[in-house]
Amino acid sequence: MHHANHFYGHAHILAEYCGLDPEHPPRINGYLQHGWNVVDGLGAGTPYVPGRPIFVYSEQTRRRAWSMGRRQATVVGAPFLYLLTMRPDPTPAPREGTIWYPFHGWEGQHIAGDHQRQVEEIMETERGGPVTFCLYWHEYRNDAVRASYEKYGRVICHGYRGYQWRDTDIDFLDNQLAELRKHKRVASNRLSSAIFHGIAAGCEGAVYGDPMHLDKEHRPTADRIRRSWPELHGKRLDAAAARASAMSELGDGYLASPAELRAMLGWTGYYTAESAHAESRPAEVPA
């Protein structure tokens, strides 16, 4: 299994959905998309063995992968949608405020931008309640960056993504879902998985502010995202249009049944009738 399949506990969520041990997911027979992107679903620089399957969120991503020579691409839907089917919200509590996700860097690329100017625009815009700032682990560990947000609101981190099968916080998406359900709005300065997840979890979405940039980033791609998804950019969005777009990008309508997913991921040998938690029909994402 490529180690990126474990990022954010994705393999663990799919194993739980399939009725298998969520703490020790079997090896996935291929590469699982671990975050929303506008290419073939694989992370930049991912070592890829030609001919191996890749499992992507949406039909749009599958078509892009096909055009790039990844002919073994299969649409399975985002792990976050599978999580929603397993974590219904039986007694929804009143939501308030905004959870804000600043664009982040990672080990290979650091972010450049003015965090102070960013937070001033956020506080000027988000006047409907308290603001929670959710930093990616990379920025959360930076005392100076964290301090620039702590002056204005609660600062959290959902956990460590994981690397080389080590230190993966398998509750990352559970932590995210719990926080999203507390907030009325989800916002960021870049369109990202967090915005799609927030909208899927019932938040109003927003994307605005200084987009900031990564070291050696391909700027035309970032600019193209804003042109291609105008319905997801702005301080106040059309909720219906934003949700339709977000759910499409996450692969709503393509979720497999546990039996189908086991077959696609190469997990049929691990299945036992006693371990199944759901019938063989496809999952339904809560509206």
pLDDT tens, residue by residue, 6-54: 999 999 999 999 999 999 999 999 999 999 999 888 876 667 788 889 9
Calculated CA dihedral for residues 176, 181, 184, 185, nearest 10 degrees: 20
- Alpha carbons within 13 angstroms on the beta-carbon side of residue 191 total 22
Whole-number pLDDT of residue 140: 86
- pLDDT tens digits along 138-156: 788 889 889 989 999 999 9
Residue 145: predicted pLDDT: 83
Give the relative orientation of helices 172-180 and 79-86 as an angle to the nearest 10 degrees: 70
- Give CA–CA dist 12/132, Å, rounded: 27
In this structure, are residues 78 and 111 in contact, taking their beta carbons and an 8 Å threshold?
Answer: no
Residue 274, pLDDT above cutoff 80: no
Please name the helix (run of DSSP H) or strand (run of DSSP E) that holds residue 73, with its range, or none.
Answer: strand 73-75
3-class secondary structure per residue, 36-58: CCCCCCCCCCCCCCCCCCEEECC
Of 275 and 63, which is predicted with more confidence?
63
Check residue 156 and give its pLDDT: 96
Mind listing the pLDDT tens digit for each residue in 86-135? 999 978 889 999 999 998 655 545 566 677 888 899 999 999 899 999 99
What residues contact 159, with CB distance under 8 A and at least 6 apart?
Answer: 137, 169, 171, 172, 175
pLDDT in tens, 197-224: 999 999 999 999 887 766 566 667 778 8
Length in residues, the chain: 287
The pLDDT of residue 213: 66
273 pLDDT higher than 50: no
Residue 156: CB atoms within 10 Å? 15
Q: What is the pLDDT of residues 57-89, one digit of tens each?
A: 999 999 999 998 888 999 999 999 999 999 999
**CB hemisphere CA count around 178 (13 angstroms):** 8
